[in-house]
Amino acid sequence: MSFKHQLTGRAPALLRQLRDPLGLGKSAQSKRSATLTPRTKTADRMVQSVCPYCAVGCGQRVYVKDEKVIQIEGDPDSPISRGRLCPKGSATERYVNSPLREMKLKYRRPYATEWEELDLDTATDMIADRVIAARAETWEHANEDGLPLNRTRGIAFLGGATLDTEENYLIKKLFTALGAVQIENQARI
Amino acid sequence: MSPRERAMVPRADPQSYYGQPVLKQPVWAPEVPFYFFAGGMAGASAGLAFAAGLRGNSELERRAWSVALVGLAVSPPLLISDLGRPERFLNMLRMFKVSSPMSVGSWILAAFGGATTVAAGSELTGLYPAAGALAKPVAAALGMPLATYTAGLLANTSVPVWHGARHTLPFVFAGGSAASAGAAATIATGLGSAAPARRLAVGGALAAVGAAFVMERSLGEIGEPYHEQAAGKLTRAAGALNLAGAALIAARGRRSRKAAIAGGALITAGVIAERWAVFRAGFQSAADPKYTVGPQRARVERGESRGAARRAGASNVGSVSESV
Amino acid sequence: MGHRVLTLDTRASAESYGESARPRMGFFTDTSLCIGCKACEVACKEWNHVPADVPEFSGKSYDNTLSLGANTWRHVAFVEQRKPVGAEAAAEDLVEAAERANAVDGFGIQTYQDGDGVRWLMSSDVCKHCTSAACLDVCPTGALFRTEFGTVVVQDDVCNGCGYCVPACPFGVIDRREDDGRVWKCTLCYDRLRDDMEPACAHACPTDSIQFGELDELRERAERRLERMAEAGQTEARLYGADPEDGVDGFGAFFLLLDEPEVYGLPPDPVATTRDVGQVWTGVLAGAAALGAGIAAAVFGRRR
Amino acid sequence: MGSNMAECHPVGFQWVVEAKERGAKVIHIDPRYTRTSAAADLHVPLRAGSDIAFLGGVINYILENGREFREYVEEYTNARAIIREDFQDTEDLDGLFSGWDPDTRTYDPESWGYAGADHGQWATSGEQTHGAHGVELERGELPREDETLEDPNCVFQILKRHFSRYTPEVVEALCGVPAETFLKVAETLCDNSGRERTSAFVYSVGWTQHTVGVQYIRSAAIVQLLLGNQGRPGGGILALRGHANIQGSTDIPTLYNILPSYIPMPEPREEPTLATFAEMQGPSTGAWAELRSYTTSLLKAWWGDAATKDNDFCFGRIPKIDGDHSNYATMLRMLDDEVKGFFVVGENPAVGSANGKLQRLAMAHLDWLVVRDTNMIETATFWCDSPEIETGELSPEEIGTEVFFMPAAAHTEKDGTFTNTQRLLQWHHKAVEPPEECRSELHFFFHLGRKIREKLADSSEDRDRGVLDLTWDYPTLGEHAEPDAETILQEINGRNLETGELIRAYDELKDDGSTSSGSWLHTGIYADGVNQSARKKPGREQTWVAPEWAWSWPKNQRIMYNRASADPEGRPWSERKKYMWWDAEKDCWTGFDSPDFTRDKAPDYVPPEDARGLAALTGREPFIVHPDGLGWLFAPSGVVDGPLPTHYEPQESPFENPLYTQQQNPTRQLYDRAANPYNPSLSEVFPYVLTSYRLTEHHTAGGMSRTIGYLSELQPELFCEVSPQLAAERDLVHGDWATIVTTRTAIEARVLVTDRLKPLEVQGRAVNQVGLPYHWGQRGIVTGDSVNDLFSLALDANVHIQEVKAATCEVLAGRRPRGRALLEFVDEYRRKAGVTGHGS
| Percent of chain A predicted with pLDDT > 70 | 95
DSSP assignment letter at D689: E
Say how far apart CA B87 and CA D338 lie, in whole Å: 69
Question: pLDDT averaged over chain D?
Answer: 95
Query: Using CB atoms, which residue from C41, C86, C101 is nearest to D23?
Result: C101
In angstroms, how far is CA A83 from the centroid of its own chain? 19
Instruction: Provide φ and ψ at D177, rounded to 5°.
Output: -105, 120
Q: Is the minimum CB–CB distance between B130 and chain D shorter than 8 Å?
A: no
Do residues B20 and C265 lie in contact, with contact meaning Cβ atoms separated by under 8 Å?
yes
Nearest alpha carbon to residue A111 among D376, D383, D372:
D383
Burial class (CB in 10 A: 0-12, 13-18, 19+), D392: exposed
Nearest-Cα distance to chain B for D713, in Å, is: 19
Query: In this predicted structure, what is the pLDDT of residue C16?
Result: 80
Residue C90 has pLDDT above 80, yes or no: no
Q: Is the minimum CB–CB distance between B99 and chain A shorter than 8 Å?
A: yes
Question: Which positions in chain B touch D728 (Cβ < 8 Å)?
Answer: 4
Question: Which positions in chain A touch B97 (Cβ < 8 Å)?
Answer: 22-24
B61-108 pLDDT, tens digit per residue, is: 999 999 999 999 999 999 999 999 999 999 999 999 999 999 999 999
Do residues D644 and D205 lie in contact, with contact meaning Cβ atoms separated by under 8 Å?
no
How many A/C residue pairs have CB atoms within 8 Å?
Answer: 114
Task: Report the interhelical angle of B229-252 vs B195-219 (nearest 10°).
Answer: 150
**C-alpha torsion sign, points B45, B51, B55, B61:** positive
DSSP assignment letter at A78: -
Span D723-742, average pLDDT: 96
Q: Is the minimum CB–CB distance between D243 and chain A shorter than 8 Å?
A: yes
Query: Using CB atoms, which residue from D6, D188, D710 is nearest to C35?
Result: D6
Report the C-alpha dihedral over residues D83, D86, D88, D93, rounded to 10 degrees: 180
Question: Which positions in chain D touch C95 (Cβ < 8 Å)?
Answer: 184
Residue B149 pLDDT grade (very low, low, confident, very high; cuts 50, 70, 90): very high
Q: Is the minimum CB–CB distance between A112 and chain B shorter than 8 Å?
A: no
Hey, of D271, D340, D486, D707, which one would you mutate to test binding to chain A, going by the most A CBs within 10 A of its CB? D340
Identify the helix (H) or strand (E) that includes residue B292: helix B289-301
Hey, of A10, A19, A22, which one would you mutate to test binding to chain B, going by the most B CBs within 10 A of its CB? A22
Question: Among the listed ranges B252-261, C4-13, C61-70, D181-190, which one has the minimum average pLDDT value?
Answer: C4-13
Nearest chain D residue to C59 by CA distance is: D735
Q: Is A169 within 8 Å of D431 when comparing Cβ atoms?
A: no
In angstroms, how far is CA D467 from the centroid of its own chain? 30
Query: Using CB atoms, which residue from B93, B94, B97 is nearest to A22?
Result: B97
Q: Is D734 within 8 Å of B5 when comparing Cβ atoms?
A: no
Say how far apart CA C209 and CA D21 lie, in whole Å: 12
Question: Which positions in chain A touch C204 (Cβ < 8 Å)?
Answer: 73-74, 84-86, 89-90
Nearest-Cα distance to chain A for C226, in Å, is: 25
Q: Is A22 within 8 Å of B96 when comparing Cβ atoms?
A: no
Nearest-Cα distance to chain A for C52, in Å, is: 11
Q: Is the minimum CB–CB distance between C55 and chain D shorter than 8 Å?
A: yes
Question: Which positions in chain C touch B15 (Cβ < 8 Å)?
Answer: 262
Question: Which positions in chain C touch B11 (Cβ < 8 Å)?
Answer: 80-82
Q: Is A79 within 8 Å of D780 when comparing Cβ atoms?
A: no
Write the single-letter amino acid at B193. Answer: S
Q: Is A38 within 8 Å of C197 when comparing Cβ atoms?
A: yes
Q: Is the minimum CB–CB distance between A11 and chain B shorter than 8 Å?
A: no
Strand partners, D344: A158, D371
Say how far apart CA D817 and CA D837 lie, in whole Å: 20
Say how far apart CA B298 and CA B294 lie, in whole Å: 6
Q: Is C20 within 8 Å of A1 when comparing Cβ atoms?
A: yes
Q: B: neighbours with 3+ CB pairs under 8 Å?
A: A, C, D
Query: In this predicted structure, what is the pLDDT of residue C301?
Result: 84
Say how far apart CA D735 and CA D753 lie, in whole Å: 8
Question: Which positions in chain C touch A69 (Cβ < 8 Å)?
Answer: none
Query: Using CB atoms, which residue from D352, D485, D705 is nearest to A88?
Result: D705
Say how far apart CA B180 and CA B44 lie, in whole Å: 8
Q: D: neighbours with 3+ CB pairs under 8 Å?
A: A, B, C
Residue B44 pLDDT grade (very low, low, confident, very high; cuts 50, 70, 90): very high
Residue D117 pLDDT grade (very low, low, confident, very high; cuts 50, 70, 90): confident
Can you give the three-state secondary structure of D330-352, one letter per residue? HHHHHHCCCCCEEEEECCCHHHH
Q: Is the minimum CB–CB distance between B1 and chain D shorter than 8 Å?
A: no
Span C14-30, average pLDDT: 89
Q: Is the minimum CB–CB distance between C92 and chain D shorter than 8 Å?
A: no
Beta strand ranges found along D525-569 (DSSP E): 551-552
Task: Report the interhelical angle of B129-155 vs B101-125 (nearest 10°).
Answer: 150
Question: Which positions in chain B touch D754 (Cβ < 8 Å)?
Answer: 8-9
Say how far apart CA D375 and CA D381 lie, in whole Å: 11
Do residues D228 and D190 lie in contact, with contact meaning Cβ atoms separated by under 8 Å?
no
Burial class (CB in 10 A: 0-12, 13-18, 19+), C43: buried
Q: Is the minimum CB–CB distance between C198 and chain A shorter than 8 Å?
A: no
Pairing type for strands C118-126 and C74-82 reads antiparallel
Say how far apart CA D593 and CA D565 lie, in whole Å: 11
Residue D86 has pLDDT above 50, yes or no: yes
Span D145-158, average pLDDT: 97
Q: Is C145 within 8 Å of A36 when comparing Cβ atoms?
A: no
3-state secondary structure of D267: coil
D555-578 pLDDT, tens digit per residue, is: 999 999 999 999 999 999 999 999
Say how far apart CA C77 and CA C67 lie, in whole Å: 8
Residue D54 has pLDDT above 80, yes or no: yes
Check whether the bond before D554 is cis (ω within 30° of 0). Answer: yes
B-contacting residues in D 540-579 (Cβ below 8 Å): none
pTM over 0.90: yes
Q: Is A24 within 8 Å of B97 when comparing Cβ atoms?
A: yes
B164-183 pLDDT, tens digit per residue, is: 999 999 999 999 999 999 99
Nearest alpha carbon to residue D502 among D479, D529, D478:
D529
How many A/B residue pairs have CB atoms within 8 Å?
Answer: 19
Query: In this predicted structure, what is the pLDDT of residue C101?
Result: 37
Q: Is the minimum CB–CB distance between D319 and chain A shorter than 8 Å?
A: yes
3-state secondary structure of D583: strand
Query: Using CB atoms, which residue from C121, C266, C291 is nearest to B174?
Result: C291
Question: Which positions in chain C touch A93 (Cβ < 8 Å)?
Answer: 46
Q: Is the minimum CB–CB distance between C46 and chain B shorter than 8 Å?
A: no
D576-612 pLDDT, tens digit per residue, is: 999 999 999 999 999 999 999 999 999 999 999 899 9
Question: Which positions in chain D touch B4 (Cβ < 8 Å)?
Answer: 724, 727-728
Q: Is D302 within 8 Å of A79 when comparing Cβ atoms?
A: no
Residue D115 has pLDDT above 70, yes or no: yes
Burial class (CB in 10 A: 0-12, 13-18, 19+), B275: buried
Nearest chain B residue to A11 by CA distance is: B94
Question: Among the listed ranges A5-9, D525-529, D657-661, D792-796, which one has the minimum average pLDDT value?
Answer: A5-9
Q: Is the minimum CB–CB distance between C207 and chain D shorter than 8 Å?
A: yes
Residue B312 pLDDT grade (very low, low, confident, very high; cuts 50, 70, 90): confident
Q: Is B99 within 8 Å of A27 when comparing Cβ atoms?
A: no
Beta strand ranges found along D701-825 (DSSP E): 719-722, 737-741, 746-753, 760-762, 765-767, 769-773, 794-795, 807-813
Residue D185 has pLDDT above 60, yes or no: yes
| Percent of chain D predicted with pLDDT > 90 | 95
Q: Is C64 within 8 Å of D716 when comparing Cβ atoms?
A: yes
Query: In this predicted structure, what is the pLDDT of residue C7?
Result: 43
Residue C10 pLDDT grade (very low, low, confident, very high; cuts 50, 70, 90): low
Burial class (CB in 10 A: 0-12, 13-18, 19+), C54: middle
Residue D443 pLDDT grade (very low, low, confident, very high; cuts 50, 70, 90): very high
Question: Among the listed ranges C3-17, C66-80, D295-309, which one has the minimum average pLDDT value?
Answer: C3-17
Nearest alpha carbon to residue D345 among A130, A154, A186, A181:
A186
Q: Is the minimum CB–CB distance between B311 and chain D shorter than 8 Å?
A: no
In angstroms, how far is CA D48 from the centroid of its own chain? 19
Q: Is A57 within 8 Å of D421 when comparing Cβ atoms?
A: yes
Query: In this predicted structure, what is the pLDDT of residue B323?
Result: 30
Measured between its terminal Cα atoms, the distance across chain B in Å is 41
Query: Using CB atoms, which residue from C175, C181, C288 is nearest to B144?
Result: C288
Pairing type for strands D341-345 and D368-373 reads parallel
Q: Is D753 within 8 Å of B11 when comparing Cβ atoms?
A: no
The DSSP result for chain C, as a single string, is -HHHHHHHHHHHGGGGGGGG----EEEEEEGGG-----HHHHHHHHHHTPPP-------BTTBSS-S-BTTBSEEEEEEEEE---SHHHHHHHHHHHHHHHHHTTTT----TTB-SSEEEEEEEEE----SS-HHHHH-SSS-EEE-TTS-EEE-TTT-----THHHH-TT---EE-TTT-SEE-----HHHHTTTPPPHHHHH-TTS-EEEEEHHHHHHHHHHHHHHHHHTT-TT-EEES--TTSTTS--SEEEEESS-GGGGT--SS---GGGGHHHHHHHHHHHHHHHHHHHHHHHHSPP-
